[in-house]
Structure 1
Amino acid sequence: MKSAAILAFCLLLVGCAAPVKKDMSAFIAAAPRSVLVVPTINKSLDVDAPNYVLAALPVPVAEKGFYVFPVNTTKFVLEQEGYYEGERIHQEPTPVLAKLFGADAVLYVTINRWDAQFALLTTVVTVDFDYRMVAKDGTELWNEKKKLQYSPQNNNSGGSPMVALVSAVVSAAITRAAPNYMPLTKRANQEVFLLSPNAIPNGPYRKTAQ
């Protein structure tokens, strides 16, 4: 019994351990003012994922205080230069991409997972991203990873077990047929850019409370 209590206490300490603070000196030294968000690499099976993720990225970066080049304009200009696929764009030297727009830094995002999997009367929706920001001279300024999952909850806590079972099956089927990834995606971006202890430092246009 005593051993079990000690183990539980140790697990609690691990769960509450603060993340290791990353070195932000390169970011602070570069002091970027503008960020170019380029099309993503998509490792998921959803062909629409890159457009949704790309559309969600500018808001938290702008809220952090940086000028963000419009993503649709960026995509159009890159296509005119012959850059169509995320993989091809990510392979291009950062100074080349930054020079096209006069950007101080380039934000690269890789979609590792963007899927919904059925398991035991529920559907688990997962998003998993890698983020990387690189200065116009090619110096990596910051990187982060974020994985979030969501499973719809059955609200029939006071009803019969059969009704609860049917409700869970229907809810899972609906989520699997038409999963909504955007709330998770926006939450992942918010945590990475705004809430994390390792979020990027504030930009020059960061609005502060009066």
Structure 2
Amino acid sequence: MRQLLCLAALLVLSACGAPAARKDPAGNSAWRAAAPRSILVVPVVNKSLDVDAPNYVLATLPIPLAEKGYYVFPVNTTKYVLEQEGMYEGEKIHEQAPAVLARLFDADAVLFVTINRWDAQYVLLTTTVTVEFEYRITGRDGAELWREKRSMRYQPQSNSSGPPLARLVGMLVEAAITRAAPNYMPLTRSAHRSAFAWGDKALPDGPYRPAAQAAESAAGSSR
């Protein structure tokens, strides 16, 4: 009996002495290994019916990435340089090897974005505005570092009061206004921030984020 107890104790001690391999909760071990400092945002692929959507989306991408602490190449300059290289359409640009694109700008990483939805649908006296994006970031060697997808919807709520007929008319007017001129930009900005900064798959803070710079400075002064 004593031998069995000793054997059980040894097994427990050996189990305690062999810690389990830690998993990266954010799934960004590849990102940390690549340690990108700069991100090239290339023109987006548009699968919606709105021909203006790509320009609007492209213009909203640099800010949330810069807020995370990364240098983002100016998107208009990037677009111009790519056009000089004969790359005009988002689909053709996304077909290029990421290493080729990164080499043109000496970028550490490349962001590819696809617009899956950018529309306003009228249903039952209301208009629902929807945006949906796919995001993919690769390293300068072409290896995928990060991927995410976001969908956002907005349905205006009627603020009309009074008799039922007046409220009905108010709902019809609000739905018509939203359908005629849907405001995609707040949804688009929220989608980007949600993908880049929130949740388990958020990007790690970049080297130019104030907190990261302070930590790097403190580490340098302690050496």
- Under a length normalisation based on structure 2, what TM-score does the superposition of the two structures give? 0.83
Match of 1:146 in 2: 150
Match of 1:190 among 186, 189, 193: 193
What is the distance in 1 between the residues matched to 2:185 and 2:66? 18
Match of 1:166 among 162, 166, 169: 169
Q: Which SS does the other structure have where 1:154 is aligned?
A: coil
Q: Deviations over 1:37-58 (max 9, x none)?
A: 0000000000000000000000
Matched, 1:70 2:70: no
User: Match of 2:114, as an amino acid?
Assistant: T
What is the distance in 2 between the residues matched to 1:33 and 1:97? 16
Match of 1:177 in 2: 180
Match of 1:33 in 2: 37
Pairs aligned (count):
189
Match of 2:210 in 1: 207
Whether contact under 8 Å (2:60, 2:189) holds in the other structure is yes
Matched, 1:95 2:124: no
5+ residue gaps in structure 1? 1-20
Q: Deviations over 1:126-157 (max 9, x none)?
A: 0000000000001100000000000111012x
- What displacement does 1:196 show? 2.4
User: Match of 2:28, as an amino acid?
Assistant: M
Q: Which SS does the other structure have where 2:202 is aligned?
A: coil
What is the distance in 2 between the residues matched to 1:80 and 1:203? 30
Q: Percent identity over the alignment?
A: 65
Q: Which SS does the other structure have where 2:129 is aligned?
A: strand
5+ residue gaps in structure 2? 1-24, 215-223
Whether contact under 8 Å (2:102, 2:109) holds in the other structure is yes
Structure 1's consecutive aligned runs of 4 or more residues displaced over 3 angstroms after TM superposition are none
Matched, 1:133 2:137: yes
What is the distance in 2 between the residues matched to 1:186 and 1:175? 18
What is the distance in 1 between the residues matched to 2:197 and 2:60? 14
Alpha carbon RMSD of aligned pairs, Å?
1.2
What is the distance in 2 between the residues matched to 1:35 and 1:132? 12
Match of 2:8 in 1: none
Bigger drift between 185-194 and 69-78 goes to: 185-194
For residues 114-129 of structure 1, the aligned pairs below 5 Å read 114-129=118-133
What is the distance in 1 between the residues matched to 2:197 and 2:159? 31
- Under a length normalisation based on structure 1, what TM-score does the superposition of the two structures give? 0.88
Q: Which SS does the other structure have where 1:36 is aligned?
A: strand
Match of 2:10 in 1: none
User: Match of 1:141, as an amino acid?
Assistant: L
Q: Deviations over 1:166-195 (max 9, x none)?
A: 000000000000111000000101111112
- What displacement does 1:208 show? 2.8
- What displacement does 1:22 show? 4.3
What is the distance in 2 between the residues matched to 1:207 and 1:40? 29
